[in-house]
Amino acid sequence: MVSITEGKHAHFFIDFAWEKDGHIRSYRLGLEEVFEGKYLETLYVPHPGQAFLLVGCGKEKELGLLEVKEILAAAASKCREWKVKECSVDISRFVDALGRDAVTQSVLGLELGSYSYSFSGKEEEGAPCRFQLERVNGLEDMEGLLAEAEELVRGIRFARDMVNTPGNHLRPMDFDRRITGFVQDVEIEAQTLVYGQLRAMGMEALYGIGGSSEYPPCLLILRYRGNPESEEVYGLIGKGVTCDTGGYCLKGSKSMAGIKGDMAGAAAVAGAMHAAAAAKLKVNVTACLPLCENRISQSAFLPGDVITGYGGKTIEILNTDAEGRLVLSDAVSYGIREENITRIVDIATLTGAVWNALGYTIAGAMSDDDSFYRMFEKGLVHSAEKYLRFPFGREHRKMIQSDVADVKNTGADCCGTITAGLFIREFCEGKPWIHLDIAGTAWCDTPSYAFESKGATGAGMTSLYFMLKEAAFLQGKA
pLDDT at 478 over 60: no
Residue 181 has pLDDT above 70, yes or no: yes
pLDDT tens figures, 354-371: 999 999 999 999 999 999
Q: How far apart are CA 258 and CA 248, in angstroms?
A: 17
Find the catalytic residue in 295, 325, 343, 431.
325
Asked which of 26-40, 133-147, 183-197, 222-236 is least confident by mean pLDDT, the reply is 26-40
> Cα–Cα distance between 89 and 12 in angstroms, integer?
9
Residue 400, pLDDT > 80, answer yes
Question: Could you report the per-residue pLDDT of 53-71, keeping only the tens digit for each?
Answer: 999 999 999 999 999 999 9
Is residue 157 part of the annotated active site? The answer reads: no
Q: Residue 477 above 80 pLDDT? A: no
Alpha carbon of 256 to those of 53, 167, 245, 355: distances in Å? Answer: 41, 12, 7, 17
pLDDT confidence of residue 361: 97
Could you tell me which CATH class the domain 2-139 is placed in? Answer: alpha beta
| Catalytic position from the list 177, 251, 313, 386 | 251
- The answer to whether 325 is a known catalytic residue is yes
Whole-number pLDDT of residue 247? 94
Could you give the 3-state DSSP secondary structure of residue 109? helix
In sequence order, what are the residues at sequence separation of 6 or more whose Cβ sits closer than 8 angstroms to the Cβ of residue 408?
315, 316, 317, 318, 400, 401, 402
The fold of 150-477 is Aminopeptidase (3.40.630)
- Which of 14-23, 370-379, 381-390, 415-424 has the lowest average pLDDT? 14-23
Confidence of residue 276 (pLDDT cuts 50, 70, 90): very high
- Between β-strands 2-5 and 42-47, what pairing exists: parallel, antiparallel or unpaired? unpaired
Helix, strand, or coil here: 44? strand
What is the per-residue pLDDT for 438? 98
13-45 confidence digits (pLDDT tens): 999 999 988 888 877 788 888 899 999 999 998
The answer to whether residue 124 scores a pLDDT higher than 60 is no
**Domain residue limits, the chain:** 2-139, 150-477
At 126, the pLDDT band (50, 70, 90 cuts) reads low
Residue 229 has pLDDT above 60, yes or no: yes
pLDDT at 123 over 60: no
